[in-house]
Structure 1
C-alpha cells in the first residue's frame, strides 16, 4: 500500500504526443520549439484537469533538453531531463501562486530571474494558479514579464482567465485548453485498464468519462475508486452503483410506457427512482436529455452528437425509429416546462407525476385530432361509410389540452394517421355499407433490449416511401384551410367577448375599437399608441391559439399597425387647457400679464 500511486500521477503524460485531447496546443508548441520562435511568456488557461500544468512541465523539459529528437520531444536521458524528472533541476522552477501571492514573493522571484542559468539554455518559471496573485503582486510582475532577460521564460497556468489583468494578458501568448472529449477520455482509460490488467466494459468507461465533465484527472480519480470497489472488474452496473448515476434503462423503459399509454407503470418507475435516492429534478432533467437524444437519433448522420458508447447508441437508434417525432416533441416540451416549474413548486413530486401523466396521454390526443381531421375532410361517399357517432360528434383537439405550448401534435404525424384512415376507407369500399371504418391506435412498440437486431450505424436509411411524400398535401388540406371573412369576424368577436368577461378590458378595447383586416393569413389590427401595441403583443399568443384551432388554419398571424390620430384630443395638462382657452379669447393673455398670474 505504501508504494501505491494514483493513476493521475502514475500515468501523467511526459511527452507532447502522450497528452490527451489537446493536439492543437501540443502541435503549436512543438513547431515553436522546432523553429526557435519561443515567446518570453505563455499563458495556459482552461478547466481543471485538462493538462495545463502537465503541458507546462513538458514544454519546460523539452526547451532545455540537450538531445531533442526528430519528433521534437525530450530525450529523457540527458542530464537536464534527468534532473527535472528527479525534481532537482536548477533551471526549471515551479511556483504555486495560491500560497505565494504577495508582493514579497514576486520580488524574490524577480531577484532569482537576474541570475543566469547554471545548466541548460533557459531559466524557466512555471507559475500555477496565477490568478491568485494580489493586485500589487501583478503590478510588481509587469515590468519583468514584459522585458525579461533573454534566457528567462515564464509559463503561467490558470483556471480563471477573467481574473487576470489585461496588462498581463497582453504580454503573453495565450493557449486555451479544451475540455477533453468523452471518446478520447474513454480510450485513454481503456489503455490504462489494459496496463493495470483490469477487466472493463466499454459502457462503464463511457459513464466515467461523461461524469468527469471533460476533466481527465477527475476521470482517473473515479477510475481508481471503481477499480477498488469492483475488485478490478469495471462493469456498467458497478459504475452506476458506485457513482450513484441514473441508469439509461430507466429512461428507455419510461419512454416505452409513455408510448403504450401505461401511466401506472410510468408512475411506478418514477417511484422506484425516488426510492433509490435520486432527486426528482435530476430525474426530469435526465428525461429531457433522453428525449433530446432520441430526436437526434432520428437521423443516423447526427448520431455522432451523442456522447455515449456504441451499444447505447444502438438502443437510442432503435427506440427513436419506433416513436413519432410528434410524440417526442410534445414530451420534450412537457419535460421542459416541468423542469422550469420544479424549483418553485411546493409539491415537487406532483409536478413530475403530472408531467408523466400528460406524456402518457399524448398518443390519445393525436388519435382524437386524427379522427376529427378525417371526418371534416372526408368526401360525401366516405362519410356514408363512417359510424354515425363519429359524424355527429366530431372530436376536436386544442393544443392547451396537454401543455401550455402548441406543440402537442405534429402536423406530419396527423397527416400520416389521416392518410392511414383514408387507405382503410378505400380498402373497405367493396364491403357492405354496415361495416364501420376503424382507426387503430398502436399501443406501445415493445421494450428496448440490446438483443434486438439494429442496422449498422454507418449506413443511411432508405428514402421515404411514396406514402410519406404525400404528407404535405394532406397537411395543406387539413390544417391550413382557407378562412372566410365572415367566419373570421365571428370567431374574432367570440374571443373579444370572452376577454370582457375575464376583465381584460384593454385587449378587448383594441380588438373592438377598429375593424380587423384579413390579408391572406395575416390579421392586421390598428392600434393608437405604443401602449396598445405592447398589450397586443402580450395577448397575441392567446388570440392565435384560439383562432388557429377554431378556424383550422395554423398559418394565421397577427400584425399591429400603429396609426396617427387625426382627431383632436381633449386638453389634459394645465398648459394645454390654458392654450385652448387662449385660442377662444386672445385677451386672456393680456389679463394674465396685467395681474402677473401663473399656471397651477
Structure 2
C-alpha cells in the first residue's frame, strides 16, 4: 500500500516549473529568451516586484534555463528547460550543489558575503554555471554590499548572481548599475482568475466564476496571495456539494455584497437617510467592516468615473455591475463624481482612525448626503459674492439626483452687487468704468439701462453684456440711455464720505480741538479718497 503523501499548499504545489507557467510576465520572458538565443547573458540579474509575483520562482527558472542539458545530456542554455534532466530536477527540488540560495533577511552581514566571495573562486561541480540566488537582497548591510561590489562587477565566467527584492529603492545605485534589471508586474485580475480556474479544475473542486474573480481581486496582483486565499476558500467550503461560492468567499474575506453596495450607493444619491442607515446596519450585522463598505463605495465611484471617461471596463465585473456603472456615468457629472470620491476618501480615513468605526461610517455617509445637495463651489462663491440666500429644502428625489447638483439661476440683488460680481469675475476694467462713469437708469435683471456720465468705449455695452452672461449664465439686455439716472457708485461713496467728515467735524471734541489749535486740519485732507473697487 502506497504511503499517503503530506498535503502541500496550493502556493507550493502550483509553483511555476517552466516559463510557460509563469503568468503575467511575458515581456521579461521574451527579453530573457532573446538574451539566451544570442548568448548575451548578463552576469547578474535583479528581479524586483511586489510580493507573490514570482521573483524567487523566476530566479529558479533562470537557474534551470542556464544549466539545462536536455534529455540527451547534450543541450545548452534554453528558455524552455526540459525539466527531466538531472540539473532541472535537482534545481526544482532545491538540492543542486551549484545553485546556492541565501535569504538576505537572515544573512545580512559581511561575513556571509565573504563566504560567497570565497566560493565563487571555484568552478561549478556538476553544472554549467554556479548560481547564487539572494532573496530580499535589499536587507544586506552596507558593508555587505560594499564587499560584494568588486566580485559583482567582475565575476568569474562560470558564476551568475540572481537577486530578488521587493524594495529596489533600498539597494545602492552602485549595485543596481552592475545588474540587468527585470521588473515583474502585478498580475492582472483576469489572468489570476483564469489561473485559479485551472487550479480548481486540477484539484477537482467546483468554484463559481464570481468567487474566483473575488479572490483574484483580493490578491491584488499576487499569485501566491491568491492561491493562499483559494486554499482557504476550499477549506471554508468544506465537503458541500456547491463547491466554492461567491457568498462563501465574501463571508470569509469580510467583503460586502456588491449588489447591496450598489443599492446603498443609489440611496446615497437619492438622499434617502433611513435607507442608508439601514443598509449600513445590515452590512454591520453581516460582519462586514465599515471600512470595507467605504472601500466598496470608492470602487463604485472610481468605476463610474472610468466609464464616463471612456476607460475600459474591468473584465472581472459582472454584466449587471457594468450596466449600473454606465448608468451612473451617464447621469453624474465629473464634478459630482470627484466630490463623491473626496468625501468617501476622507470618510474612509476617519473610519480607520475612529475608536467607533460604525458610528464614524454613519457620520461620513450622512455628510456625503448633505454635501451632495450643496451647490457647486464655483456657483457658491458667486452666490456669496452677490449676497444671495442659500436654498434649503428636503433632499432631492432619486430621479433628480443629478439635477440637484446643478447651480440654480440667480441674479444680483442690485446694481452694486452686480458691480461686485464683475470684480469677483476679474472684470476689473469693466467694473471700474461701471463704478466711476455710469448711473443706473433701470435695473431689472436681465435688463440694464445705464447713463454714461463720461464718454465710454463704443463696445462697452456689448462687453458688459457678455461679462454678465458669463457670470450669471443668462442673456442680458444692456443699453446706454440719456434718461434720468441715479448718481454713480463713485459719487454715492464720495457723498457718503463727505457726510461722514461733516459729522465728525461737527462733534464737540473735534470742533474744540480745531478751535484750540488754529491752522490744524484733519489728517484725511492729506489722504487721497479711495473708491471701493480700487
- Shorter-chain TM range is 0.5 to 0.7
Alpha-carbon distance in 2 for matches of 1:187, 1:352: 35
Question: Using the alignment, how far apart are the partners of 1:346 and 1:129 within structure 2?
Answer: 36
State how far apart, in whole Å, the 2-side matches of 1:400 and 1:139 are.
69
What root-mean-square deviation, in Å, do the aligned CA atoms of Structure 1 and Structure 2 show?
4.2
Q: Which residue of structure 2 aligns with residue 308 of structure 1?
A: 316
The CA distance in 2 between the partners of 1:241 and 1:340, in whole Å, is 24
Q: Which residue of 2 aligns with 1:239?
A: 249
Of 271, 276, 280 in structure 2, the residue corresponding to residue 266 of structure 1 is 276
What's the TM-score, normalizing by structure 2?
A: 0.67
Shift of 1:106: 1.4
Establish whether residue 488 from structure 1 lines up as the match of residue 418 from structure 2: yes
| CA distance in 2 between partners of 1:313 and 1:275 (Å) | 24
Q: Following TM superposition, by how much is the alpha carbon of 1:34 offset from its aligned partner in structure 2, in angstroms? A: 1.1
| In structure 1, distance between residues paired with 2:178 and 2:419 | 69
Instruction: List aligned pairs for 1:384-533, cutoff 5 A.
Output: 398=390, 442=399, 486-489=416-419, 517-518=429-430
Give the secondary structure class of the aligned counterpart of 1:234: coil
- Could you tell me the TM-score, scaled by structure 1's length? 0.60
Change (3 A) 1:225 1:169: same
Quick one: distance in 1 between partners of 2:275 and 2:374?
Answer: 20
Partner of 2:83: 76
Q: Any stretches of 5+ residues in structure 1 without a counterpart? A: 367-395, 403-407, 410-439, 446-470, 496-514, 524-546, 555-600
C-alpha spacing 1:150/1:332, structure 2 compared with 1 (3 Å) = closer
Corresponding residue of 1:222: 229
Distance in 1, matches of 2:86 and 2:135, equals: 25
Q: How many residues of Structure 1 are paired with residues of Structure 2 in the alignment? A: 417
Correspondence 1:248 to 2:251: no
Name the SS for the 1:42 alignment partner: strand
Say if 1:441 and 1:169 are closer, same or farther in 2 by CA, change over 3 A.
closer
Shift in CA distance, 88/364, structure 1 to aligned 2, threshold 3 Å: closer
Query: Does structure 1 residue 22 correspond to structure 2 residue 25?
Result: yes
Change (3 A) 1:106 1:297: same
Following superposition of structure 1 onto structure 2, how do residues 83-122 of structure 1 map, counting pairs within 5 Å? 83-122=90-129
Match of 1:552 in 2: 472
Structure 2 CA distance for aligned equivalents of residues 69 and 480 of structure 1: 81
C-alpha contact (below 8 Å) 1:258/1:266 kept by paired residues: yes
Alpha-carbon offset, residue 235 of structure 1 = 0.9
Gaps of 5+ in 2: 376-387, 436-466, 475-534
CA distance in 2, matches of 1:344, 1:187: 37
Mapping 1:77-226, distance limit 5 Å:
77-226=84-233
Deviation at 1:120, TM superposition (A): 2.8
Q: Is the 8 A contact 1:91 1:122 kept in 2?
A: yes
Q: Is the 8 A contact 1:202 1:309 kept in 2?
A: no
Return closer, same or farther for 1:334/1:44 CA change in 2, 3 Å cut-off: closer
Deviation larger for 257-266 or 121-130: 257-266
Shift of 1:297: 3.0
Aligned-pair CA distance for 1:158 = 1.1
Aligned-partner SS, 2:311: helix
Do the aligned partners of 2:261 and 2:293 also contact (CA within 8 Å) in 1? Answer: no
Secondary structure at 1:200's aligned position in 2? coil
Give the Å deviation of 1:246: 1.8
Secondary structure at 1:13's aligned position in 2? coil
Identify if the C-alpha distance between structure 1 residues 490 and 401 changes in structure 2 by more than 3 Å, giving closer, same or farther. Answer: farther
Seen in structure 2, the aligned counterparts of structure 1 residues 206 and 54 have a Cα distance that, compared at 3 Å, is same
**Alignment of 1:294 onto 2:304:** yes
Report the counterpart of residue 40 of structure 1 in structure 2.
43
Inter-partner Cα distance in structure 2 for 1:397 and 1:192: 64
